[in-house]
Amino acid sequence: MENESEKDTDQNEEMSDTSESPEPLSLPDASAEKATQGSDTDLEVKDPGKAFAGVTGAELYLEACRLMEVVPVSHFTQNLAKPCINLSHHGLGPRGVKAIAIALVSNATVTRLELEDNCILAEGAICIAEMLRENCSLQELNISNNHLGTEGAEAIASLLLDNASYLYALQLSGNNFGEEAVSCLAEALMGNYQVKKLDLSHNEFSEKGGRLLGQMLASNTALEILDLSWNHLKRKGTAALGTGLRGNGALKILNLSWNSIGNEGAQALGEALKVNSTLVHLDISNNQINNEGAKKLCRGLEVNGKLEVLKMANNPLTVEGATALVLSVRKNPSSMMAEINISNVLVNENFIKLLDFVCQTRPELDVIYGEVEGRISKIPKQHPNPMKLIQKIDKDGNMKIPVTAFRRAMLQQSSIPLDRVQIRELVHKLDRNRTGIVDYSHLKEQKPAQKPVEGEMKEEEKEDM
pLDDT tens digits along 319-342: 999 999 999 999 999 999 999 999
User: Residue 351 falls within a domain, yes or no?
Assistant: no
Please report the pLDDT score of residue 24 as a whole number: 36
Alpha carbons 157 and 184: distance in angstroms, whole number: 6
User: Residue 73 falls within a domain, yes or no?
Assistant: yes
Query: SS3 letters for 280-337?
Result: CEEECCCCCCCHHHHHHHHHHHCCCCCCCEEECCCCCCCHHHHHHHHHHHHHCCCCCC
User: Residue 458 falls within a domain, yes or no?
Assistant: no
**145-149, 303-307, 456-460: which range is least confident on average?**
456-460
Please report the pLDDT score of residue 398 as a whole number: 65
Please report the pLDDT score of residue 35 as a whole number: 38
pLDDT tens digits along 28-85: 333 333 333 344 444 544 444 455 556 678 999 999 999 999 999 999 999 999 999 9
For residue 311, the cross-strand partners are 283, 341
| Torsion sign, CA atoms 339, 344, 348, 349 | positive
User: Residue 55 falls within a domain, yes or no?
Assistant: yes
Report the CATH number that the domain containing residue 102 is assigned in CATH.
3.80.10.10
Q: Give the helix/strand (H/E) hosting 459.
A: helix 454-464
pLDDT at 355 over 60: yes
User: Residue 372 falls within a domain, yes or no?
Assistant: no
Q: Give the helix/strand (H/E) hosting 360.
A: helix 349-361
User: Residue 191 falls within a domain, yes or no?
Assistant: yes
Alpha carbons 247 and 279: distance in angstroms, whole number: 11
With DSSP H G I counted as helix, E B as strand and the rest as coil, what are the percentages for the chain, rounded to 5? 45, 10, 45
Report the CATH number that the domain containing residue 409 is assigned in CATH.
1.10.238.10
Quickly state the pLDDT bin for 445 (edges 50, 70, 90). Answer: very low
Q: Mean pLDDT across the chain, nearest whole number?
A: 83
Quickly state the pLDDT bin for 406 (edges 50, 70, 90). Answer: confident
Beta strands at 400-402 and 437-439: parallel, antiparallel or unpaired = antiparallel
Alpha carbons 214 and 240: distance in angstroms, whole number: 6
Q: CA nearest 227: which of 246, 243, 251, 262?
A: 251
pLDDT at 376 over 90: no
Mean pLDDT of 206-233: 97
More confident site: 431 or 165: 165
For residue 367, the cross-strand partners are 340
pLDDT at 284 over 80: yes
448 CB contacts (<8 Å, ≥6 apart)?
none
Please report the pLDDT score of residue 392 as a whole number: 57
Give the number of domains in the chain: 2
Cα 364–chain centre separation = 26
| CB-CB contact of 187 with 157 (8 Å) | yes
Which among 178, 204, 230 is the end of a domain? Answer: 204
CB-neighbour burial class of residue 61 (10 A; exposed 0-12, middle 13-18, buried 19+) = buried
Q: How many residues does the chain have?
A: 465
Domain of residue 148 covers 44-204
| CB-CB contact of 233 with 258 (8 Å) | no
User: Residue 284 falls within a domain, yes or no?
Assistant: no
Alpha carbons 139 and 134: distance in angstroms, whole number: 13
User: Residue 290 falls within a domain, yes or no?
Assistant: no
Query: Considering the entire predicted model, what is its pTM?
Result: 0.77
More confident site: 456 or 136: 136
Q: What are the DSSP calls for 80-130, one per residue? A: TTSSEEE-TTS--HHHHHHHHHHHHTT--S--EEE--SS--HHHHHHHHHH
pLDDT tens digits along 140-156: 999 999 999 999 999 99
